[in-house]
């Protein structure tokens, strides 16, 4: 049973038992109602306590039932709350650890609530593009006051139970054993009538109209394209202005409306995609993992330093290896400065600062890193350099150590072949800045051990990354796709666009940064280096020469103070460059291309559909396990707009037949060869299917 019924003296206890967070799925809801019926039918029972087993009271809806008939089947959460609220025997919620979403709505339907200190209280539905749909927007303002409730509902942020002490949400904070305290409290309340209901509390907030309007103005400026935060305010406003039952119906109507929005569907897709990414079909969840108690990083540059910080942040001691003392000192100083800046912002205590800095040390000798459980190389992106490093690591690292490469494009199988232990080699492609970016592409080589893959996935969670598995190919998932995106951006320049127009169109679509501002931030010389390799390896693939001409001018981006844009000292703002724009126009004339006016729709379609088409090939080749993994790569590593759900989800939203139709149109222009639809995309479009 997902909820257990016991009687303790005159008190019935219903214990939610649906691990890991006692989600309120259909079987749990049914068991609560059955328990209530038993308690009400038993004359010996004077009161009922509802609590949660394990590490939660309840985390709310059972995510396994999202988008399934079970989510709406009777008894719904509304029905459960109605049974509890209308009970003629007092019902007490005994809350510990986690009380969120539907779990909090259930507790608010009880007559009394007791809690242990430190319990996390939240209505986080807004993070899925929704609002609380079982009375949360109507009862919470009555329990904790209008202002506190509004902040909790609009932000979805958890609040510790002790911070809500003194409100009508909690009748008592229990010190010591929660169940003993709850039973004692229930005994005292057993014969007290009438039974209090949160719904009967009057909201007293003078001049609430002005407060709600101020809230709307503030939230509107921050909500961006997401409709849910403002709808949350509308629902809370109904708690003040409408009768309770009318407010409840209004809340339900808004909830149903939000469920249908693309933005909520995109957020829910991302929520499930992140969980799916951790599941590897042929690597069971109980696969033994290797112990990671210490780490080493090769290279103290920007990437190496950022990777080292990830380990230190997770409490794992890490040693950085460099070839020269000067480079090592510079790298360690940069790490220290990064932590100092975080401390100045109040996001790191002095104690944590000392702890993290103390976990990072440096060395100039391979002999000093041999006992590390994992070593990540972050050296120059060149196969010859990687070969030297991995042959050395093969010699010095202890048996069972994981040898990881931070390569962003190179063949991990070839890197593994430089060692006598290919089963220990894996790709761990961090994204810059590595201590900030959430994505970690975990590249599985042909001979990578399952235990090594399982360990890398577990480690990604420990260092707070979203780990996504990729097979071996040039550029893996993210960079292989971005190459096609960048190619189209270059062709757009040749045909009539300037960098600012392309960037503005894509940023208006929702990207954090357009391709040219991104190039200036990452360093245009990196792409130049890769293209030079492509010209030799894949001479049949065409590129615009504008980016090469830019690099020949020494304009590598922000690090040189000039790239596609001009930059001023101490100012990261991108200023359009007359020199660059003249070069672009001149280049079009040199290659006999008549420049034309190009609209924002064409810019966005060419860039985004280029991503989608390459992603379809990646999926068909088995490089990515699932379409949602590709979406996670782009949402967490490339600034793809969250409200659009990732490139594959977005293509599904547009309709794959429409994507193919647009591609056929662009195939009639210059570089039409770039627009041949991937077989998987063509097939799904013809069958009226989707990627996800």
End-to-end CA distance of the chain: 33
Which class for 336: exposed (0-12), middle (13-18), buried (19 or more C-beta within 10 A)?
middle
Give the CA distances from residue 44 to residues 10, 88, 194, 414, in Å, rounded to whole numbers and listed in that order. 6, 14, 20, 74
CA-based max dimension of the chain: 94
Angle in degrees, CA 459, 318, 353, rounded to 5: 100
Tokens representing 363 are 């060395």
Nearest CA to 17 out of 36, 31, 7, 33 is that of 31
Tokens representing 156 are 């979805």
The dihedral built from the CA positions of residue 446, 451, 452 and 456, taken in this order, carries a sign that is: positive
Q: How far apart are CA 102 and CA 107, in angstroms?
A: 8
Nearest CA to 94 out of 185, 6, 27, 163 is that of 185
Upper half-sphere CA count for residue 325 (Cβ side, 13 Å): 0
Strands 91-95 and 112-116: parallel
Q: How far apart are CA 401 and CA 399, in angstroms?
A: 6
E strand residue ranges, 334-395: 360-363, 374-377
Catalytic residue among 105, 251, 263, 500: 105
Catalytic residue among 85, 125, 251, 494: 125
Q: How far apart are CA 100 and CA 67, in angstroms?
A: 19
3-state secondary structure 234-295: HHHHHHHHCCHHHHHHHHHHHHHHHHCCHHHHHHHHHHHHHHHHCCECCECCCCCCCCCCCE
Q: What is the DSSP string of 452-473?
A: HHHHHHHHHHHTT-EEEEE-SS
125 is catalytic: yes
CB atoms under 10 Å from CB of 618, counted, come to 26
Q: How far apart are CA 488 and CA 42, in angstroms?
A: 73
Sequence-distant (≥ 6) Cβ neighbours of residue 288 within 8 angstroms: 451, 454
340 is catalytic: no
Which class for 72: exposed (0-12), middle (13-18), buried (19 or more C-beta within 10 A)?
exposed
Angle in degrees, CA 331, 335, 339, rounded to 5: 170
Which spans in 397-449 are helix H? 412-416
Tokens representing 509 are 């679509």
Q: Check: CB of residue 23 under 8 Å from CB of residue 69.
A: no
Q: How far apart are CA 121 and CA 119, in angstroms?
A: 6
Which class for 464: exposed (0-12), middle (13-18), buried (19 or more C-beta within 10 A)?
exposed
Strand, coil or helix: 449: coil
Strand, coil or helix: 640: coil
Just list the catalytic residues. Answer: 105, 125
């Amino acid at each position: 049973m997902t909820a257990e019924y016991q009687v303790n003296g005159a008190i019935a206890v219903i214990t939610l038992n649906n691990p890991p967070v006692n989600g309120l799925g259909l079987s749990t809801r049914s068991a609560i109602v059955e328990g209530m019926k038993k308690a009400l039918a038993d004359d010996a029972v004077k009161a009922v306590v509802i609590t949660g087993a394990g590490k939660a009271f309840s985390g709310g809806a059972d995510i396994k039932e999202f988008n399934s008939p079970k989510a709406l089947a009777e008894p719904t959460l509304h029905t459960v709350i109605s049974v509890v609220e209308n009970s003629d025997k007092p019902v007490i919620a005994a809350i510990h650890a986690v009380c969120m979403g539907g779990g909090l709505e259930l507790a608010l339907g009880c007559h009394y609530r007791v809690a242990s200190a430190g319990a996390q209280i939240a209505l986080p539905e807004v993070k899925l593009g929704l609002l609380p749909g079982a009375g949360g927007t109507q009862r919470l303002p009555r329990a904790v006051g209008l202002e506190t409730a509004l902040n909790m509902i609009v932000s979805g942020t958890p609040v510790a139970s002790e911070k809500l002490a003194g409100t009508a949400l909690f009748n008592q904070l229990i010190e010591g054993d929660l169940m003993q305290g709850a039973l004692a409290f229930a005994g005292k309340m057993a014969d007290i009538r009438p039974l209090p209901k949160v719904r009967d509390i009057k909201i007293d907030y003078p001049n609430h109209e002005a407060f709600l309007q101020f809230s709307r103005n503030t939230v509107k400026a921050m909500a961006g394209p997401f409709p849910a935060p403002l709808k949350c305010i509308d629902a809370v406003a109904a708690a003040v202005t409408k009768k309770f039952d009318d407010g409840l119906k209004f809340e339900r109507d808004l909830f149903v409306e939000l469920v249908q929005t693309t933005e909520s569907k995109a957020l829910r897709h991302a929520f499930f995609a992140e969980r799916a990414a951790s599941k590897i079909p042929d690597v069971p969840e109980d696969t033994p993992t290797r112990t990671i108690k210490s780490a080493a990083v090769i290279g103290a540059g920007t990437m190496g330093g950022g990777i080292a910080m990830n380990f230190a942040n997770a409490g794992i001691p890490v040693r950085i290896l460099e070839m020269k003392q000067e480079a090592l000192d510079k790298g360690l100083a940069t790490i220290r400065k990064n932590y100092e800046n975080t401390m100045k912002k109040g996001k790191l205590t002095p104690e944590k600062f000392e702890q993290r800095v103390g976990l990072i040390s440096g060395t100039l000798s391979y002999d000093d890193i041999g006992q590390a459980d994992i070593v990540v190389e972050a050296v120059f992106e060149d196969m010859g350099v990687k070969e030297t490093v991995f042959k050395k690591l093969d010699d010095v690292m202890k048996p069972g150590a994981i040898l990881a490469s931070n390569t962003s494009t190179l063949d991990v199988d070839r890197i593994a072949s430089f060692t006598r232990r290919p089963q220990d080699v894996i790709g761990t492609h961090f994204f810059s800045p590595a201590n900030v970016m959430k994505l970690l592409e975990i590249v599985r080589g042909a001979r990578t051990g399952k235990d090594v893959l399982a360990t890398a996935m577990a480690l990604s969670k420990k260092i707070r990354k979203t780990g996504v598995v990729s097979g071996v190919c040039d550029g893996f998932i993210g960079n292989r796709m971005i190459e096609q995106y960048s190619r189209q951006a270059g062709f757009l320049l040749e045909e009539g666009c300037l960098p600012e127009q392309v960037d503005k169109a894509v940023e208006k679509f929702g990207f954090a940064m357009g391709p040219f501002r991104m190039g200036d931030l990452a360093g245009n010389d990196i792409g130049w280096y890769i293209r030079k390799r492509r010209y030799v390896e894949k001479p049949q693939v065409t590129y615009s020469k504008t980016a090469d001409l830019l690099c020949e001018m020494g304009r590598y981006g922000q690090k040189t103070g000039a790239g596609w844009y001009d930059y001023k000292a101490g100012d990261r703002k991108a200023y359009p460059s007359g020199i660059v724009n003249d070069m672009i126009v001149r280049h079009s004339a040199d290659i006999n291309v008549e420049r034309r006016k190009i609209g924002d729709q064409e810019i966005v379609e060419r860039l985004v559909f280029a991503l989608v088409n390459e992603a379809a090939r990646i999926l068909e080749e088995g490089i990515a396990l699932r379409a949602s993994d590709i979406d996670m790569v782009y949402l967490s590593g490339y600034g793809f707009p969250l409200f659009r759900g990732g490139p594959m989800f977005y293509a599904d939203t547009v309709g794959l037949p429409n994507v193919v139709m647009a591609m056929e149109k662009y195939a009639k222009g210059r570089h039409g060869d770039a627009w041949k639809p991937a077989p998987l995309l063509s097939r799904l479009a013809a069958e009226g299917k989707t990627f996800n």
